[in-house]
Amino acid sequence: MLSMRNVSVTYGNNPVPAVENFSLEMKQGEIVSIVGESRSGKTTVIRAVLGCLPGGGYVSRGEISFEGRPVSGFGREEWRRLRGTEISMIFQDSGAMLNPVRRIGSQYVEYIRTHEKMGRRAAWERGARMLEQMRLPDGEHIMRSYPFQLSGGQRQRVGIAMAMTFQPKLLLADEPTSALDVTTQAQIVRQMLKLREEYHTGIIMVTHNLGEAAYMADRILVMKEGHIVDAGTREQILAHPSSAYTRNLLDSVPALGGYRFV
């Protein structure tokens, strides 16, 4: 479905690419986690997939193709058809994505009607139904709320609901749980796993939480300073990491009932 071959991404005139030689082949229904610390280039990778690199970033080498078609040749209209319907994205804080002075409902309806010919009433109902499927009780109430009236976990569910409205083939998740409490984190992860079961969605999950990545993903990529340093299944990465960096990373994660400093 998605294929990235030797992709390098450069920002502006910076001679050092933010991501270098990144390759990934992905099938539908697969979950891949990209793990790394800050500035490892993990967010840049998924932004490149969606063709929305910020600040003068561009793919300087290699090729990204989605369902066999190279995305580099896409015009505005093609991107518009793809984004939000075939490929969609969840951000770290869906609250920041939403307009603070408009109710959820009005934004949701606009989003649906941008991508599909549909009446207001029908779009509203579809939005409310989608919210309820994401286990937000009383979708009507959420539709009538402003983003600030919702908790962080609720806002994130709204973000997921919106991203999943058109049952995209590929979902890009950029640290969707990092800003949440552990209990809510677990809820969101369960929700995302259900997406795969129900809609057969492929997910690229960017996270710095190794435990979460290991729990969710079929495959894990470990990135450092723009390069993939380790790639493999959960077993391979957790039990037999090939790079010293991954080993160090694994050692640094505090474990329940594990090593104690005192």
Binding residues for other proteins, per CB under 8 A? 37-38, 135, 151-154, 181-187, 189-190, 208-212, 214-215, 234, 238, 248-262
Among 38, 69, 55, 53, residue whose Cα is nearest residue 8:
53
The minimum distance between CB 63 and other proteins, in angstroms, equals 31
Looking at beta carbons only, is 75 or 254 nearer to other proteins?
A: 254
Q: Are 4 and 62 in contact (CB under 8 A)?
A: yes
Among 107, 184, 108, 100, residue whose Cα is nearest residue 149:
100
Looking at beta carbons only, is 124 or 174 nearer to other proteins?
A: 174
Looking at beta carbons only, is 25 or 181 nearer to other proteins?
A: 181
CB neighbourhood size of 227 (10 A): 16
The minimum distance between CB 221 and other proteins, in angstroms, equals 17
Looking at beta carbons only, is 126 or 208 nearer to other proteins?
A: 208
The minimum distance between CB 136 and other proteins, in angstroms, equals 10
Token pair of 50 as six digits: 């969606």
In the block, which residue shows the tokens 């009433």? 121
Residue 36, SS3?
Answer: strand
The minimum distance between CB 231 and other proteins, in angstroms, equals 18
The minimum distance between CB 172 and other proteins, in angstroms, equals 20
* DSSP tag of 59: E
Looking at beta carbons only, is 118 or 186 nearer to other proteins?
A: 186
Looking at beta carbons only, is 157 or 169 nearer to other proteins?
A: 157
The minimum distance between CB 238 and other proteins, in angstroms, equals 6
Return the ∠ at Cα 76 (arms to 165 and 66), rounded to 5°. 60
Distance (Å, rounded) from C-alpha 145 to C-alpha 103? 5
Q: Which amino acid is at 226?
A: G
